[in-house]
Amino acid sequence: MDLGFAGKVAVVTGGGSNIGRAISHEFGKEGAIVAILDRDKAQADRTAAEIVDAGGRAHAFALDVTDVEATKVTVAAVEREVGPIAVLVNNVGWNGKAEFFLNLTPERWNQAFQLNLFSTFNVTHAVLPGMVERRNGAVVSIASDAGFGEFRMADYGAMKAGVMAFSRTIAKEYGRYGIRANTVAPGLVIPPPDAIGEGSLWKIDIGMGPKEIQNIEAGIPTRRRSEAVDIAWSVLFLASDRARQLTGQLVSVSGGLAMPR
């Protein structure tokens, strides 16, 4: 199926590792020009090189998506050097080690806010004016099933619920300008070692061993965890013109573990 991305610029935040890497690769396969925005520049370069080696087009940009001024500068550079941004994927996010609420510190709350919610505000705020001017664009934000309320994920879940609400607000406010905004909520996705860089937050111990993972899988109707590419396929569909009447929607990609209404 031709999703119509040939020659269009797709920005993927955190596009060097794990889910972001898979999303970047799938856009590359569809002929998009992929702009990878990642704080781990070395890994972003590697992912971009993989896409180019496979016959696609990709560019890597170093960016801390919580830095307001740096984000403005980087988005301007993408539009100047790569082209007008047609698709934005807000992929950056991190849950850290699962903890009971009373064990969470204000520093941890702030980190959760910065990485999971503020980063989405920040990059969207920088990209959206160009989309409004061109009266066309698609924004897909990565949330999490934790956003429906999850054990030992009070901080992360609250921020991802915020991403869901934010995406719906963008859909309502900017649909009149030809802009669609949707959300994909993955379940547990554990990357293989070759899918993450040394600067990835996945290098930090999340406190989840084989037994915990096995218990999670036992509760999934399909009896399997999602892989990063499963998330990527949903993102690409929602960003494509094939989904032109889908906006403000939430898709849970978790094998049925979550079934939001």
More confident residue, 158 or 221: 158
Banded model confidence at residue 141, pLDDT cuts 50, 70, 90: very high
Which residues lie closer than 8 Å to 132 by C-beta, 6 or more apart?
A: 174, 177, 179
- Among 10-14, 100-104, 203-207, 249-253, which stretch is predicted with the lowest mean pLDDT? 203-207
Contact (Cβ atoms closer than 8 angstroms) between residue 212 and residue 188: no
Residues designated catalytic: 156
Q: How many domains does the chain have?
A: 1
In a domain, 258, yes or no: no
What is this structure's pTM?
0.91
Mean pLDDT score of the chain: 89
In a domain, 173, yes or no: yes
Banded model confidence at residue 151, pLDDT cuts 50, 70, 90: confident
pLDDT over 70 (residue 125):
yes
pLDDT digits (tens, 9 = 90+) for 51-92: 999 999 999 999 999 999 999 999 999 999 999 999 999 999
Strand segments (E) across the chain: 9-13, 33-38, 57-62, 85-90, 137-142, 179-186, 250-253
More confident residue, 96 or 155: 155
In a domain, 2, yes or no: no
The whole-number pLDDT of residue 136 equals: 98
Banded model confidence at residue 161, pLDDT cuts 50, 70, 90: very high
As a whole number, mean pLDDT of residues 249-256 equals 82
In a domain, 136, yes or no: yes
Residues 44, 197: Cα–Cα separation, whole Å = 8
Beta bridge partners of 88: 11, 139
The whole-number pLDDT of residue 23 equals: 98
Q: Residue 9: helix, strand or coil by DSSP? A: strand
The structure tokens listed for 25 are: 């690769």
In a domain, 1, yes or no: no
The whole-number pLDDT of residue 196 equals: 64
Q: What is the DSSP letter of 183?
A: E
More confident residue, 216 or 42: 42
Boundaries of domain holding 193: 9-253
Residues 143, 235: Cα–Cα separation, whole Å = 12
Q: What is the CATH number of the domain that holds 30?
A: 3.40.50.720
Write down the residue that tokens 């971009």 correspond to.
48
